[in-house]
Protein backbone atom coordinates (compact mmCIF):
# COMPACT_ATOMS: atom_id res chain seq x y z
CA UNK A 1 0.00 0.00 0.00
CA UNK A 2 1.23 3.47 -0.86
CA UNK A 3 0.94 5.91 2.05
CA UNK A 4 1.95 9.03 0.14
CA UNK A 5 -0.76 11.64 0.10
CA UNK A 6 -2.48 12.32 -3.21
CA UNK A 7 -2.44 15.87 -4.55
CA UNK A 8 -6.14 16.34 -3.80
CA UNK A 9 -7.57 16.55 -0.29
CA UNK A 10 -8.87 13.33 1.18
CA UNK A 11 -10.90 12.14 4.14
CA UNK A 12 -9.37 10.18 7.04
CA UNK A 13 -11.71 8.34 9.40
CA UNK A 14 -10.87 7.35 12.97
CA UNK A 15 -12.92 4.23 12.33
CA UNK A 16 -12.73 2.31 15.61
CA UNK A 17 -15.52 4.44 17.08
CA UNK A 18 -17.19 5.81 13.95
CA UNK A 19 -20.91 4.95 13.77
CA UNK A 20 -22.01 2.78 10.84
CA UNK A 21 -24.46 5.37 9.46
CA UNK A 22 -21.60 7.90 9.20
CA UNK A 23 -19.46 5.38 7.33
CA UNK A 24 -22.35 4.83 4.91
CA UNK A 25 -22.63 8.59 4.29
CA UNK A 26 -18.89 8.73 3.66
CA UNK A 27 -18.97 5.75 1.29
CA UNK A 28 -21.74 7.34 -0.79
CA UNK A 29 -19.91 10.68 -0.83
CA UNK A 30 -16.67 9.01 -1.95
CA UNK A 31 -18.37 7.48 -4.96
CA UNK A 32 -20.40 10.58 -5.80
CA UNK A 33 -17.51 13.06 -5.55
CA UNK A 34 -14.55 10.74 -6.24
CA UNK A 35 -12.79 11.78 -3.04
CA UNK A 36 -10.47 9.29 -1.33
CA UNK A 37 -11.83 8.03 2.02
CA UNK A 38 -9.48 6.03 4.26
CA UNK A 39 -10.77 4.28 7.36
CA UNK A 40 -8.04 3.72 9.96
CA UNK A 41 -8.57 1.18 12.74
CA UNK A 42 -6.74 -1.44 14.77
CA UNK A 43 -9.13 -4.10 13.53
CA UNK A 44 -10.11 -5.37 10.11
CA UNK A 45 -12.92 -3.34 8.55
CA UNK A 46 -15.25 -4.34 5.75
CA UNK A 47 -15.48 -1.66 3.08
CA UNK A 48 -17.32 -1.61 -0.22
CA UNK A 49 -15.31 -2.35 -3.33
CA UNK A 50 -14.32 1.06 -4.65
CA UNK A 51 -11.28 2.80 -6.00
CA UNK A 52 -12.10 5.69 -3.62
CA UNK A 53 -12.47 3.77 -0.35
CA UNK A 54 -9.76 1.92 1.54
CA UNK A 55 -9.15 0.59 5.03
CA UNK A 56 -5.84 0.85 6.82
CA UNK A 57 -5.42 -1.63 9.67
CA UNK A 58 -2.81 -0.60 12.24
CA UNK A 59 -1.33 -2.50 15.19
CA UNK A 60 -3.40 -2.59 18.35
CA UNK A 61 -2.39 -0.25 21.13
CA UNK A 62 -3.20 3.06 22.71
CA UNK A 63 -3.49 5.86 20.12
CA UNK A 64 -1.88 3.82 17.29
CA UNK A 65 -4.74 4.61 14.88
CA UNK A 66 -4.70 8.26 16.00
CA UNK A 67 -0.94 8.46 15.38
CA UNK A 68 -1.35 6.94 11.91
CA UNK A 69 -3.98 9.54 10.99
CA UNK A 70 -2.00 12.44 12.48
CA UNK A 71 1.09 11.40 10.53
CA UNK A 72 -0.77 11.14 7.21
CA UNK A 73 -3.28 14.00 7.35
CA UNK A 74 -2.27 17.02 5.28
CA UNK A 75 -3.51 20.61 5.11
CA UNK A 76 -6.91 20.62 3.46
CA UNK A 77 -7.72 17.00 4.37
CA UNK A 78 -10.77 16.20 6.49
CA UNK A 79 -10.47 14.00 9.59
CA UNK A 80 -13.57 12.39 11.09
CA UNK A 81 -12.97 11.69 14.78
CA UNK A 82 -14.54 11.83 18.22
CA UNK A 83 -11.06 12.01 19.73
CA UNK A 84 -10.39 15.63 20.72
CA UNK A 85 -6.60 15.26 21.15
CA UNK A 86 -6.40 13.79 17.63
CA UNK A 87 -8.55 16.64 16.33
CA UNK A 88 -6.16 19.12 17.97
CA UNK A 89 -3.17 17.46 16.29
CA UNK A 90 -4.65 17.53 12.79
CA UNK A 91 -6.10 21.04 13.11
CA UNK A 92 -2.60 22.23 14.09
CA UNK A 93 -1.35 20.69 10.82
CA UNK A 94 -3.95 22.58 8.77
CA UNK A 95 -6.43 19.74 8.27
CA UNK A 96 -10.14 20.10 8.97
CA UNK A 97 -11.71 17.96 11.68
CA UNK A 98 -15.33 17.03 12.35
CA UNK A 99 -16.86 14.61 14.81
CA UNK A 100 -19.52 12.09 13.72
CA UNK A 101 -22.23 14.41 15.04
CA UNK A 102 -21.11 17.11 12.61
CA UNK A 103 -19.42 19.39 15.15
CA UNK A 104 -16.39 21.08 13.62
CA UNK A 105 -13.13 21.38 15.49
CA UNK A 106 -11.29 24.59 14.61
CA UNK A 107 -8.22 26.51 15.73
CA UNK A 108 -10.68 28.81 17.54
CA UNK A 109 -12.48 26.13 19.58
CA UNK A 110 -10.04 23.24 20.00
CA UNK A 111 -8.32 24.57 23.14
CA UNK A 112 -11.68 24.93 24.89
CA UNK A 113 -12.73 21.44 23.76
CA UNK A 114 -9.47 19.96 25.11
CA UNK A 115 -9.91 21.78 28.39
CA UNK A 116 -13.46 20.49 28.83
CA UNK A 117 -12.40 16.96 27.89
CA UNK A 118 -9.59 17.02 30.45
CA UNK A 119 -11.90 18.43 33.12
CA UNK A 120 -14.46 15.67 32.51
CA UNK A 121 -11.67 13.05 32.65
CA UNK A 122 -10.61 14.44 36.04
CA UNK A 123 -14.18 14.25 37.32
CA UNK A 124 -14.54 10.65 36.16
CA UNK A 125 -11.15 9.84 37.71
CA UNK A 126 -12.48 11.21 41.01
CA UNK A 127 -15.51 8.92 40.78
CA UNK A 128 -18.05 11.52 39.67
CA UNK A 129 -20.67 10.13 37.29
CA UNK A 130 -20.65 12.47 34.30
CA UNK A 131 -23.05 10.56 32.06
CA UNK A 132 -22.35 9.80 28.45
CA UNK A 133 -23.26 11.35 25.17
CA UNK A 134 -26.85 11.40 24.00
CA UNK A 135 -27.84 8.51 21.74
CA UNK A 136 -26.72 8.94 18.14
CA UNK A 137 -29.75 9.75 16.00
CA UNK A 138 -31.15 11.00 12.72
CA UNK A 139 -30.45 14.64 13.57
CA UNK A 140 -26.76 13.80 14.14
CA UNK A 141 -26.59 12.10 10.74
CA UNK A 142 -28.21 15.12 9.10
CA UNK A 143 -25.83 17.61 10.74
CA UNK A 144 -22.84 15.46 9.80
CA UNK A 145 -23.98 15.09 6.18
CA UNK A 146 -24.47 18.86 5.94
CA UNK A 147 -20.99 19.53 7.34
CA UNK A 148 -19.50 16.99 4.91
CA UNK A 149 -21.32 18.57 1.97
CA UNK A 150 -19.90 21.99 2.93
CA UNK A 151 -16.37 20.56 3.02
CA UNK A 152 -16.84 18.80 -0.32
CA UNK A 153 -18.32 21.91 -1.95
CA UNK A 154 -15.33 23.99 -0.81
CA UNK A 155 -13.03 21.48 -2.56
CA UNK A 156 -14.74 21.68 -5.96
Per-residue pLDDT tens for 77-100? 999 999 999 999 999 999 999 999
Q: What is the pLDDT of residues 125-144, one digit of tens each?
A: 777 776 767 888 999 999 99
5 assigned to some structural domain? no
124 assigned to some structural domain? yes
Number of domains in the chain: 1
Average pLDDT across each block of 10 residues of the chain; the chain has 156 residues. List them in order.
62 94 97 97 93 94 92 97 94 96 90 70 74 84 97 90
Q: Please state the pTM of the whole predicted model.
A: 0.85
Question: Domain range holding 50?
Answer: 11-128+135-155
Q: Which domain CATH number covers 116?
A: 3.40.50
- CA 84, CA 117: separation in Å to the nearest integer? 8
Instruction: Please give the helix or strand (H or E) that residue 154 lies within, else none.
Output: helix 138-155
105 assigned to some structural domain? yes
DSSP class of 155: H
Q: What pLDDT sits at residue 85?
A: 93
21 assigned to some structural domain? yes
* 78-80 and 96-98 strand pairing: parallel
3 assigned to some structural domain? no
Amino acid sequence: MNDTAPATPQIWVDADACPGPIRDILFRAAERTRVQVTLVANQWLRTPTSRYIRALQVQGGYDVADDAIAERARPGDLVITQDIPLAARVVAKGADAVNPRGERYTADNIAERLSMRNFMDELRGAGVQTGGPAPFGARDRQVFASQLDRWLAARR
